[in-house]
Structure 1
Amino acid sequence: MILALLATLSLQHAELPPIPLAGQAETVRRYDTGARQGVAVGPTDIWAVSNSTIVRFDKATGERRAEWSGDPALYPHVNSCSLIAADLVCASSNYPAAPHVSTIEVFDPAALAHRRSIALPSGIGSATWVERRADGWYVMFANYDARGSEAPRTHRDTVLVRFDDQWRPHERWTLPDSILSRLAPMSISGGGWGPDGRLYLSGHDLPELYAVDLPAGGGVLRHLETFGIEAEGQAIDWDESEPGMLYGITRRTREVLAMRVF
């Protein structure tokens, strides 16, 4: 089923016209982790994310350090994680089920003990990534055209929402046509702020990284430029200890990739 879906998506994306790239990231290291959804990175560790499991690896040696395995009935789709202060903060949903239910799951980054869950509002989409900024929490809610959809929303209803510290929603941003046309029928899987202060997004299937700007007060994200990467979409994370280094995964081999963008 998964291979058939990937083959269908590859055929659809093969029909997309090529686009100018601002640059091509260089893959400088690979980690054999079995990751299926994404990766988080810290100064000394990486965390491979695979739906109902998270595994911590030593960044220098690739040695396996700790693992969390959740009940798939309770955690069917942990999509991405990010090291934020003293927590590993993850975006989780019930994808591909509907109606969409999304939560933020918080873990001890070392032992991977589960600390708490935060419920997110319904009727927006499936949470795919979460990041913290000075003015609050940012969560991307994906929507789809087929599997995983919740009518009447489609991939064009994918939205980035800023929440305050009490998890009340404030600004919202939708995607521009230049990115939406590359995503259909899927959505945004990963995102995070790069060392240049810009927000970068990754889709579900294409080896592309989209740099965007957020208009004040909400609206439509401004697509600034696109970079080529080896990772075929999925959740990503910038290495704050090594500016310019982006971590992602490749589902072809289930490896974590360290990619130098700048």
Structure 2
Amino acid sequence: MVLMGCLAFGFVQGQPLQPAPPVTKSELVRKWEIPEANQGVGVDKDFFYAVDNRRIGKYDKKTGQRVALFEDAKNGAMLHLDSAVVIDGKLYAAHSNYPQLPMTSSIEIFDTATMQHVGTHSFGIEWGSLTWLDRHNGFWWAGFANYNKVFGPSQQPYGNKYWTTVVKLNDQFQKLEAWTLPEPVLERFEEMSNSGGSWGPDGKLYLSGHDPAEVYVMELPKIGSVLQWVGTVTVDIKGQGIAWDRSDPGVLYGIIRGSKSQPHQVTVSRLNIK
């Protein structure tokens, strides 16, 4: 009787099945070939900031020319910068020790005027590998990834993607609430996880995976601890960190990670936001 009830209501892995939400398309506005665009991108009114593991390049939005560069030493403390958000003249970058174990994470803070490192906040061993940070409605929001992929000599997956968590934080980066992601979205990440996140001008949270050329439109649930998947937008990206341009509503920055034969790129897309 219990099994029949679960089947009737469509439960999988303890979560109710949901019909796939609508898919919409975005319009590609511009692409830039940017050598640091390996992990993610941040953006403010006049510049965008391409993020690599140990480097952040500052670029003029109109010309695509680099105007400043932060680069840590190869043997420096920075291991894996991921995505970035710019708030009031400061760039806040997600940082982790990916793919080392145990997972540790921190927020690294830069002055956008000088591109000098000016602050840090360590989470230590907490919820996973920090991949993105954003500011919305007076709070900080952060994505902590876990993975099903096995790296290097390890015999175990790097966490478990079902433990991927979105955390709401106060001004001191202390946890207030947290949510997981719906299983159908996690399945699109394959063995990887949530790599980017940015709150849109419509008040919805947009998440990206490690590789797919799409972003997932999420809302906070009215009941429970699983974010609600309400839409998908195809975007000219290859997963990784994303950032809304809050000086130009509807414009989303992303990256296409390159290869030996193709350069890294920053992409600028316009989404039809209602």
TM-score between the two structures when normalised by the length of structure 2: 0.84
Q: In the aligned structure 2, how far is the partner of 1:49 from the partner of 1:152?
A: 23
Distance between the aligned counterparts of 1:113 and 1:121, measured in 2?
23
Structure 1 counterpart SS, 2:171 = coil
Aligned-pair CA distance for 1:153 = 3.2
Structure 1 residues 243 and 58: CA distance shift in structure 2, 3 A: same
- For 1:77, the equivalent position in structure 2 comes to 80
The within-5 A match list for 1:33-112 is 33-34=34-35, 35-72=37-74, 73-112=76-115
2:168 aligns with one of 162, 165, 168? 162
8 A contact 1:96–1:147 mirrored in 2: no
- CA deviations on 1:73-116 (whole Å, 9 max, x unpaired) are 41111001111122111100011111111000000012110001
- Give the whole-Å Cα distance in 1 for the aligned partners of 2:33 and 2:211: 20
Contact 1:171/1:217 (<8 A) preserved: no
Task: Confirm or deny: 8 A CA contact 2:149 2:158 kept in the other structure.
Answer: no
- Mapped to 1, the partners of 2:238 and 2:157 lie a distance apart of 27
User: Which AA in structure 1 matches 2:266?
Assistant: V
The SS at the match of 1:56 is strand
The change in CA–CA distance for 1:117 and 1:93 in structure 2 (over 3 A counts) is: same
Matches within 5 A, 1:1-262: 21-34=22-35, 35-72=37-74, 73-147=76-150, 153-215=159-221, 219-252=225-258, 253-262=263-272
Ranges in structure 2 where 5+ consecutive residues have no aligned partner: 1-19
Contact 2:149–2:157, Cα closer than 8 Å, also in 1:
no
- TM-score, normalised to structure 1, is 0.88
2:54–2:71 contact (8 Å) kept in structure 1: yes
8 Å CA contact retained: 2:92, 2:108? yes
Gaps of 5+ in 1: 1-18
Distance 2:222 2:59 in 1: 38
Change over 3 Å in CA distance of 1:110–1:123 after alignment to 2: same
User: How big is the shift at 1:71?
Assistant: 3.0
**CA apart distance, 1:41:** 0.9
1:181 partner SS: helix
* % identity of equivalent residues: 40
Conserved? CA contact 1:66–1:110, under 8 Å: no
* Corresponding residue SS for 1:120: strand
Q: Is the 8 A contact 1:171 1:218 kept in 2?
A: no
Q: Distance in 1 between matches of 2:118 and 2:137?
A: 23
Structure showing greater Rg: 2
Please give the alpha-carbon distance, in whole angstroms, between the structure 2 residues aligned to 1:74 and 1:172: 28
CA RMSD of aligned residues (A): 1.8
Partner-residue secondary structure (3-state), 2:187: helix
**In 2, Cα distance between the equivalents of 1:101 and 1:47?**
24
The number of residue pairs the alignment matches comes to 244
Aligned residue for 2:38, secondary structure, equals coil
Query: Residue 14 of structure 1 corresponds to which residue in structure 2?
Result: none
Once the two structures are TM-superposed, the CA of residue 133 in structure 1 deviates from its matched residue by 2.2
CA distance in 1, matches of 2:142, 2:242: 14
